[in-house]
Each structure stands twice: as structure tokens, then as C-alpha cells.
Structure 1
Amino acid sequence: MSPQDIAAGIATAFRAACRAELDALKVGNVHRHGAGHGMEVAHFERAADAAAPHIAAVGARVGARIERAVDASLAAAGLNTNLGIVLLCAPLAFAAESAGPAPTDERLRARLRAALDGLDMEDAAATFRAITHANPGGLGRATEHDVTGPVRIGLVEAMGLAAARDSIARQFVTGFADIFEFGLPRLRALADAPAEARTEAVHLGFMAAFPDSHIARKSGIGIAEAVRAEAAALLPRIDFRAPDATRHAALLPFDVSLKARGLNPGTSADLTVATLFTDLLTGGSLRP
């Protein structure tokens, strides 16, 4: 298989993961069953299409993929829809480029660890520029190693400084542990359920397991923990093998409530896309 064929497969998997996430009723987020937070599905679709070729660019470094994908997404959608998705998926795509077609989870994760170990100051500078361009809500300023200032440390070291409070940063220092050890097993445990239901299960599972970083940045850790507890209380009440109407009757009130409160569990959605993307890269059952 040529490098161009591999890149095309990675780009296809990225688009498919983004669309599968939009198809599901992910409580508090934008999805085909309801807009929210001033955004619609079309914004995310345009951003995914614009980002895909940069995520899968043959031979490009991780930082370059992030910066180009974010800039293309912003130009296409007119607002930040996918910074977290790009931050997570660019290293996965870089690893998949050398892992061979449909690699095992173990092989992909080994390649991912090598990719993370190889990140340099150039990757950090490109990633910091992308974050600054996207200007995510609630980012604020750091007293040292701020993303808007000169780059003095590597990307993984910078992510390590934020890992305790940010779930996306944590992936860079744990080899994407939450994706491989939580998201993928949860997705695959429901192999007999519809794809939309499996995505809902992964998303609500992330919400119930970890205070959402996006909510914490914008509204504080106390509110993020309260939302996590709400998700944890709802999770055992959902039969993810039930018909759409049954699942959605239980999910929709929480969706409406979160949006009415202006609470967007965006990081849980980002982790969900990364889980779906990883599954597709390894030849999982969601593969298009």
C-alpha cells in the first residue's frame, strides 16, 4: 500500500469518526438531534472535511498537522469546533502512518508512544500557535509556559503541566490511556448495538468517569464535578441496546438541561471522536 493510499484511509477514518460522533445524541453537545451553544452540525461537518487532509498529510510532523488542520477548520467553519479533536487525532494519524493497515491496538499504541516521545520544540510551537488561533473558551493565561508566549519546553512536557486539570493534555503523558483503556473497551463491549448507541455509550461513559475539562475551564471544577455526578446517575438507567426512541427519551432531558445551563461537555465529545478514530484505524467494527 502506497503512502498516499494510507493517507487516504486515515483521512476517510477521520471524517467517518467525526460524522459518527455527530449522528449520536451526545448530551449537551451539538448533534443531529439538536443544535446548541450557537453551533450546528454543519459547522462541524465543514471543519472535519477541511481538517482531514491535514490530519492525514503524508510525512508531516504532528505539530504541523495540528496547526494546518486547526487553521483550515477555522477558515471553513468560522469558529472553533474541533481543536480538541485535532489535538487528539493528529498524533494518532501520525502513528497510524507507519503502523500498517488495520494495526492491532498494541501496535498502534506502540507507534503512538514513539510519536509522542519524538515530539520536539517545533511541534510545540506549531501546537501553541494552533491553540492561540482557536482561542478555546476558558483558556485563560498561565503564569509560565503560556501558549501565547515563547516556547521554552517540549509539547509533552507542556501537556504534563496541564494533565491534572485537562483530559486532553493527560493523553499526551499517558500514551492515550483513556482512549485505549476506557473508550475502546466500552465501545467494543457493545458490538451488538447500533453504531449511534455505541457512540452515546462512550460519550456518557466519559462524562460519568471524568469531570469534563471544557466545563471546568468555563464554569469551574465544582460545576464540572456536579455534571459528572449527574451523568454517573443517568448512565445505569440507559439500555444502549434499546431502540433509538427508548434511549433518546432518557437522554434528551439531560441534553436539554445542559444546554439550558450553557454547559457543553466538549472534552468528552473530543475523547469520543478519538475513540471512534482509533477503532477505525485498527479495523474495528465501525470501519466504513
Structure 2
Amino acid sequence: MSTGLPAATVADLYRAACLAELDALKPGNVHAYAPGHRMVTADFVTSAEVSAPPLAAEGARVGARVRGGVEATFAAVGQNTNLGILLLCAPLAGAAEGHGPLTESLSAVLADFDASDAANVFAAIRHANPGGLGKAARHDVTDAGPTPSLAEAMAEGSPRDRIARAYTDGFRDFFDIGLPALARARAQGLAAPWTTTAVHLAYLTKVPDSHIARKHGPARAESVRAEAAARLAGLDLAREPVAALLDYDRALKDAGLNPGTSADFTVATLFLDALLRARGEAR
């Protein structure tokens, strides 16, 4: 039987996942090779450091982990650098404390939201005010009145937001896209940070990015996905194609396109992989 991980270990693995993602060349996003979207990697390094304690707080509920991480981040860097990361990593951090297989613990976490989870997640989203949030027909985070359950809100958002969908489908994208991409990259002998780049490109080419969809519409998000799939087809990461990826990176940034959800899923995939390994459940 797997043993739950202590908070200090969860925090360390979370920080390591955040930093590893920054070291990888991820077209259109912020990374060590190039800044972008008026943000620099130093802000994300600081964000990882200050958000780790609330994210990993022993016994904390998902909503408290997310809200604590967002508030710590804003106090340190004054902007939203990690809302999506925290939304994806908070359930994983909670599940990592459980005994038995991590996937079973994750299912239990996702089935056990209470009113405080919804209130804290909604407060965190309002605080972060992510770009292109818009208004939902029901269960909008800016609405006054009673707060819906977190499960209801995520179900309402799932058709248009991949992070919301993760809360409703057991985080299937990690197991269908992220972890398999990471395993293939390692099997090919790629070293970090290129294994991380492989994960990011898997999300970028297989799933329309929710951050792009919020800001530019779902059709634009799908066109970016299709363009990425065509442009990156046959790219050999073993050759460390920095020039080709930086060229695409500039093209996306010049167009004001940031596949931020793909980057969020990349961080969380690395975090999940590290948790599984630490618990002796490596896939």
C-alpha cells in the first residue's frame, strides 16, 4: 500500500515541478529562453516559492490550498502567475496525503468538496482575475448571492475550460496526454528540460488551449492547435531544436497568443509524476 507524503515533501516536489517547467522551451509561454506577455521567469520562481506552503499545507482542503497560494503569490509579485497551476495541483497535493493508490485518493478528493471549497476557489479566481474570464450564464464567479457547489461550477465550465473539465473527468488529460508524453520522451533518451518540452508540445498540439480560447475565442484556439500540430510535426527534440522552437515562440508572442493552459497542465503533469514516484507508484 502506498504511504501518504508529508507536507514538506509535497511542497518540495511542487516547487521542483514549477522550476522544471520554466527551464523548458515552451513556444508562446514564459520560459528561461525568452520572456513574454510582460512577464519574466523571476516572477514565476518567486510564485512557486511562496505558494508552496499553502498548496502543501497538511490536511488543508482544496479551496484553502488554492486561495492561500493565490494570496501569497499576489503579496509577493502583484499579479496572476499561477492560478491555473494551483487549481490543477491543489487536488493532487491533497491526494498525495492519502493512503492507497494516488488515483483513488484523487477521486476521493474530487468527490468531497464542501461549501468552503467553492467559496475559497471563487475568491481566488476573483482575486487573480485571469485574462478573458468573461461571464458564465450560470454559476459565474462574479455573481452575488449564494455560492454554487464547486462540482456544479466546474461542470458548468467544463465545455469551455480544460481545467474545469479536469475536475469533472478525474484529470484524464494527465493520464491520456501528459504522462504518456513524458514516458515517451524519457524512453527516447531525452534529458530535462526536453522531456518537459515534449509534455508541453503534446498538450499544445492535441488540445485547444483554454487560455487562448478565453481571450481570442474557441475557433482561434483550435486554429492554433492545428497550426502547432502541422508546424511541429516531425520535430526531433533529441536534436534540441532551439532555433525552430524560438521562431515559433516569437510568432505566437507577436500575435499575442499565450498557450497558458498547456503550460499549467505541463507543471501539474510533472508534479503528478513526481508524486507517483515518491509514493512508489511510478507509471
TM-score, structure 1 normalization: 0.92
TM-score, structure 2 normalization: 0.93
Q: Which runs of 4+ in 1 moved over 6 A?
A: none
Aligned match of 1:166:
161
Unaligned regions of 5+ residues in structure 2, if any? none
Match of 2:245 among 247, 251, 272: 251
Structure 1 counterpart SS, 2:233: helix
Distance 1:15 1:253 in 2: 29
The alpha-carbon distance between structure 1 residues 269 and 78, as it changes in their structure 2 partners (threshold 3 A), is same
Distance 1:159 1:185 in 2: 25
Structure 2 counterpart SS, 1:241: helix
Q: What fraction of aligned residue pairs are identical, expressed as a percent?
A: 54
**Counterpart of 2:36 in structure 1: which amino acid?**
G
Native 8 Å contact 1:26 1:203 kept in 2? yes
Distance 1:240 1:13 in 2: 25
Superposed CA offset, 1:175-222 (max 9, x none): 000012210011011112111111111111101111110001001112
Native 8 Å contact 1:13 1:277 kept in 2? yes
Deviation at 1:235, TM superposition (A): 2.9
Distance 1:236 1:140 in 2: 34
Match of 2:151 among 132, 149, 156: 156
Judge which range, 25-34 or 233-242, deviates more: 233-242
1:185 is aligned to 2:188: no
Aligned match of 1:124:
118
Aligned match of 2:66:
66
CA RMSD of aligned residues (A): 1.8
Native 8 Å contact 1:211 1:224 kept in 2? yes
Aligned match of 1:204:
201
**Counterpart of 2:195 in structure 1: which amino acid?**
R
Distance 1:134 1:99 in 2: 33
Deviation at 1:45, TM superposition (A): 0.6
Native 8 Å contact 1:156 1:173 kept in 2? yes
Aligned match of 1:144:
138
Deviation at 1:273, TM superposition (A): 0.5
Native 8 Å contact 2:85 2:264 kept in 1? yes
**Counterpart of 1:175 in structure 2: which amino acid?**
G
Deviation at 1:146, TM superposition (A): 1.0
Superposed CA offset, 1:136-172 (max 9, x none): 0000122321112234421122111111111101100
Distance 1:14 1:213 in 2: 22
